[in-house]
């Protein structure tokens, strides 16, 4: 047996007080003599024996009550031979407080976070004032990487508020291991989506050499509505055109929510609103629309009203509205296909440039959205290199083979080998008709709406075999009846490569006179494999991809400024594998809208949102947590005994309190014995 507060055992001295009281009579009795008392002598002797026995029993009850009170305050424990004492200088403990947003759910009488703080105070009460302790929260700030006295820990605990970054068990365990604490406590709701216990045995063995106590907190009700994501189906956001914004909203509760108002704000003003019905435990898509008169970065947010959890009630986003789209049409000396010029040359949405292969301004290529190589018989090496670099940054390229290429000298061999690891196959000089269109691909999905009228599909007089088994993902867009493809798309870098098997001049095909020609070329320009994300997640390990071309070689730093001007930071912008990435490592970026500026020029608009992982309300069970330590359930065991519970001991103070009550009850019965006899007519 060991005691949590052994100094209280000095109180056993008070056990002697009842003895002193019974040995020294504070009341003196006066003798009265009567003429004849002989017949009473025997009765007096018997009464004295009973009285003395009762007094001894009363004294014993009082002594027992005092002793049990002392033992209860000393907090005895049994069941463990503990080698380390909380009062020894070599003992240290770490307490992890989960202060993520999920801890804002309601507990029995207060939020889980406030409940957890109260439990930590109870745990700390079992330590002396000079104990070496660590309080670790999800913030992982520097002041948490040192052992501190209890007074400082209580101050840190008081200032701990909810933060947006959840932590996994491995992250927490590594931080605690740095201080080599004897015992570690974890107070959390232990969500599966964020806490993430190790699954393989090797990882479990790494974290099995420290005594751990898990204290799970369970919310009373899981009622919450969250805006999980936002996106747009519009491939290119342009001024004067409707932009469809879609959002995914989830009802995590067990009750259906009707007519939930979803509001969209752009540049601080409400631009659209809709009402949605949310079935219990389901997610639905909501649709809103917007239109802008000018180009630029349009920043806003979606918002709902929901309590008590509010961190996921708002989702920020940035819409890059472009004034025009760069399309570069490169042809041979005889001039380009007039059908291409008709599509892009008369549309103000596009910045259309048509140029001969011998007169290319290579500085324009990186800024182009779509580059069309129109029947160029010989591809210059400098152009092949420029196209590859542009595609790695997100530019789309259309390759149209020339008509006079020889069978053993397939065109574009160098560029195709470097991009997809294959070349055009042999040429077939026979007529073939396109019979199938892939309506699942964005190029045809929206415009043709599943139309399959073969009379509108093109016919060709000759074709090359397009490569199928390649090292990059690819997909057929238009196919012949012979299972060969007329048009196929390949992922190359961050861009898309569209490869056509036949020349598109009128001498070889009627493709340019069909509606599918207009649809396909327009959407090749509009849809990009490297479309910009509308927002990023706070605390994500990877960098934020910038689709805009920025210069990182200059000496001027980039500045990240919030839209309201209250936040300023200097992030890192690096070119990695020909992608421009922004990193916010070490910067606490709150959820919101931001502008990335360089030399007082706005480079990009960015939005950050808190992770929605905590909305998945699935929790680890006690049996799963027991693989890594003990589990103390506050509803069954007092949290103040957590330290001793870590070493497998069992607290006995409750039994001593019960013994006190029993002793006092017996004493009361002995004091009232005469009255009891009289009431029940006992001898």
280: domain CATH number is: 2.60.40.10
Is there a domain that residue 637 lies in? yes
| Residues 657 and 637 grouped into a single domain | no
| Residues 262 and 290 grouped into a single domain | yes
**For the residues 539-547, what does the mean pLDDT come to?**
75
- For 518-534, write each residue's pLDDT tens digit: 989 988 888 866 566 79
Residue in the structure block whose two tokens are 């990882």: 203
| Residues 454 and 375 grouped into a single domain | yes
What is the reported pLDDT for 206?
62
For residue 257, the SS3 value is strand
**For the residues 403-427, what does the mean pLDDT come to?**
75
- For 120-151, write each residue's pLDDT tens digit: 998 888 777 777 889 999 988 877 888 888 88
- For 208-239, write each residue's pLDDT tens digit: 667 889 999 988 766 789 999 999 877 678 78
Residue 283 burial class via C-beta count within 10 angstroms: exposed 0-12, middle 13-18, buried 19 and up: middle
Is there a domain that residue 625 lies in? yes
CA atoms of 607 and 243, how far apart (whole Å): 18
**Residue (of 502, 682, 675, 670) closest to 53 by Cα position:** 670
Q: Is the peptide bond before 301 cis (omega within 30 degrees of 0)?
A: no
More confident of the two residues 193 and 648: 193
For 465, the token pair is 């075999």
CA distances from 614 to 283, 397, 670 (A): 15, 41, 61
The dihedral built from the CA positions of residue 551, 556, 559 and 565, taken in this order, carries a sign that is: negative
Is there a domain that residue 85 lies in? no
pLDDT tier for residue 38 given thresholds of 50, 70 and 90: low
**For the residues 647-670, what does the mean pLDDT come to?**
82
SS (H, E, C) 171-206: HHHHHHHCCCCCEEEEEECCEHHHHCCCCCHHHHHH
What is the reported pLDDT for 84?
44
More confident of the two residues 578 and 260: 260
Whether the predicted pLDDT of 393 surpasses 60: yes
Domain boundary among 526, 552, 576: 526
The helix (run of H) or strand (run of E) holding residue 2 is strand 2-3
For 21, the token pair is 């009281």
Residue 449 burial class via C-beta count within 10 angstroms: exposed 0-12, middle 13-18, buried 19 and up: exposed
Whether the predicted pLDDT of 81 surpasses 50: no
| Residues 211 and 231 grouped into a single domain | no
Is there a domain that residue 614 lies in? no
Q: What pairing do the DSSP bridges indicate for beta strands 325-331 and 350-356?
A: parallel
| Residues 441 and 482 grouped into a single domain | yes
Whether the predicted pLDDT of 80 surpasses 60: no
pLDDT tier for residue 354 given thresholds of 50, 70 and 90: very high
**For the residues 366-377, what does the mean pLDDT come to?**
89
**Domain range for 595:** 536-609
Residue 601 makes CB contacts below 8 A (sequence gap 6+) with none
CA atoms of 417 and 413, how far apart (whole Å): 6
Q: What pairing do the DSSP bridges indicate for beta strands 568-569 and 558-562?
A: antiparallel
pLDDT tier for residue 373 given thresholds of 50, 70 and 90: very high
CA atoms of 681 and 108, how far apart (whole Å): 52
Summary mean pLDDT of the chain: 83
Phi, psi torsion values for 578, nearest 5 degrees: 65, 20
Determine contact, residues 304/260, Cβ cutoff 8 Å. Answer: yes
| Residues 32 and 128 grouped into a single domain | no
| Residues 22 and 75 grouped into a single domain | yes
What is the reported pLDDT for 83?
45
For 205, the token pair is 């063995």
| Residues 329 and 423 grouped into a single domain | yes
pLDDT tier for residue 277 given thresholds of 50, 70 and 90: very high
The partner residues of 26 in beta bridges, in order of sequence, read: none
pLDDT tier for residue 651 given thresholds of 50, 70 and 90: low
CA atoms of 639 and 624, how far apart (whole Å): 20
**CATH number of the domain enclosing 472:** 3.40.50.880
More confident of the two residues 488 and 81: 488
| Residues 473 and 347 grouped into a single domain | yes
- For 568-583, write each residue's pLDDT tens digit: 998 888 877 656 788 8
| Residues 210 and 273 grouped into a single domain | no
Tell which phi-psi region holds residue 612, choosing left (phi > 0), alpha (psi between -120 and 50) or beta. alpha
**Residue (of 483, 492, 294) closest to 399 by Cα position:** 492
% residues pLDDT > 90 (the chain):
28
Determine contact, residues 262/229, Cβ cutoff 8 Å. Answer: no
What is the reported pLDDT for 682?
64
Determine contact, residues 129/159, Cβ cutoff 8 Å. Answer: no
Whether the predicted pLDDT of 327 surpasses 80: yes
| Residues 577 and 623 grouped into a single domain | no
CA distances from 417 to 371, 524, 578 (A): 18, 22, 19
Question: Angle of helix 150-159 relative to helix 112-124, nearest 10 degrees?
Answer: 180
Phi, psi torsion values for 490, nearest 5 degrees: -130, 140
Is there a domain that residue 531 lies in? no
Residue 40 makes CB contacts below 8 A (sequence gap 6+) with none
**For the residues 258-287, what does the mean pLDDT come to?**
93
How many structural domains comprise the chain?
Answer: 5
Is there a domain that residue 662 lies in? yes
């Amino acid at each position: 047996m060991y005691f949590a507060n052994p100094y209280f055992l000095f109180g056993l001295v008070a056990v002697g007080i009842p003895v002193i009281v019974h040995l020294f009579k504070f009341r003196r009795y006066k003798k009265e003599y009567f003429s004849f008392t002989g017949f009473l002598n025997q009765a007096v002797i018997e009464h004295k024996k009973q009285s003395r026995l009762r007094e001894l029993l009363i004294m014993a009850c009082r002594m027992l009550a005092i002793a049990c009170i002392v033992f209860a305050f000393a907090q005895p424990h049994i069941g463990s031979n503990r080698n380390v004492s909380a009062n020894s200088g070599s003992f240290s403990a770490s307490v992890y407080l989960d202060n993520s947003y999920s801890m804002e759910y309601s507990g029995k009488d207060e939020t889980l976070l406030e409940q957890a703080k109260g439990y930590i105070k109870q745990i700390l009460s079992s330590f002396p004032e000079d104990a070496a302790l660590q309080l670790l929260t999800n913030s992982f700030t520097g002041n948490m990487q040192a052992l501190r006295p209890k007074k400082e820990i209580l101050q840190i605990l008081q200032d701990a508020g909810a933060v947006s970054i959840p932590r996994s068990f491995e992250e927490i365990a590594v931080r605690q291991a740095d201080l080599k604490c004897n015992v570690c406590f974890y107070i959390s709701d232990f969500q599966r989506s964020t806490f993430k216990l190790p699954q393989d045995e090797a990882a479990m063995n790494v974290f099995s050499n420290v005594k751990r106590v898990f204290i799970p907190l369970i919310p009373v009700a899981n009622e919450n509505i969250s805006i999980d994501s936002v996106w747009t189906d519009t491939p290119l956001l342009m001024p004067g055109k409707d932009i469809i914004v879609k959002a995914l909203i989830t009802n995590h509760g067990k009750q259906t929510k009707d007519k939930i108002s979803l509001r969209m704000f752009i540049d601080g003003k409400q631009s659209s609103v809709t009402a949605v019905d949310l079935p219990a435990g389901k997610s639905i898509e909501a649709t809103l629309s917007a239109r802008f008169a000018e180009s630029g970065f349009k920043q806003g947010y979606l918002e709902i009203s929901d309590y008590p959890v509010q961190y996921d009630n708002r989702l920020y986003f940035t819409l890059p509205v472009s004034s025009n789209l760069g399309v570069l049409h490169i042809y041979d000396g005889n001039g380009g296909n007039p059908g291409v010029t008709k599509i892009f040359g008369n549309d103000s949405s596009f910045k259309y440039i048509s140029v001969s292969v011998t007169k290319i301004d290579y500085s324009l290529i990186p800024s182009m959205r779509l580059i069309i190589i129109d029947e160029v018989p010989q591809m210059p090496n400098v152009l092949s290199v420029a196209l590859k670099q542009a595609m790695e940054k997100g530019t789309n390229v259309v390759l149209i083979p020339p008509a006079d290429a020889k069978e053993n000298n397939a065109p574009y061999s160098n560029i195709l080998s470097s991009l997809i690891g294959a070349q055009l196959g042999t040429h077939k000089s026979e007529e073939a008709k396109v019979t199938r269109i892939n309506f699942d691909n964005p190029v045809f999905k929206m415009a043709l709406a599943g139309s399959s009228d073969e009379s509108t599909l093109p016919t060709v007089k000759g074709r090359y075999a397009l490569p199928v088994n390649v090292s990059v993902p690819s997909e057929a867009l238009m196919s012949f009846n012979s299972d060969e493809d007329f048009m196929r798309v390949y992922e190359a870098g961050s861009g898309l490569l569209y490869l056509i098997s036949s020349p598109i001049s009128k001498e070889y095909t009627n493709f340019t006179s069909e509606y599918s020609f207009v649809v396909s070329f327009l959407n090749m320009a509009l849809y990009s494999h490297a479309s910009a994300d509308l927002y990023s997640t706070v605390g994500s390990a990877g960098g934020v991809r910038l689709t805009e071309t920025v210069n990182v070689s200059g000496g001027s730093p980039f500045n990240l400024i919030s839209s309201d001007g209250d936040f300023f930071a200097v992030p890192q912008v690096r070119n990695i594998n020909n992608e421009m990435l922004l990193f916010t490592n070490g910067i606490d970026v709150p959820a919101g809208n931001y502008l990335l500026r360089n030399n007082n020029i706005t480079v990009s608009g960015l939005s950050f949102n808190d992770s929605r992982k905590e909305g998945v309300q699935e929790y680890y069970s006690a049996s799963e947590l027991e693989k890594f330590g003990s589990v103390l359930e506050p509803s069954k065991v007092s949290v103040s005994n957590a330290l001793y519970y870590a070493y497998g001991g069992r607290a006995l103070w409750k039994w001593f309190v019960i013994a006190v009550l029993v002793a006092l009850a017996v004493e009361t019965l002995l004091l009232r014995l005469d009255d009891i006899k009289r009431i029940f007519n006992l001898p």
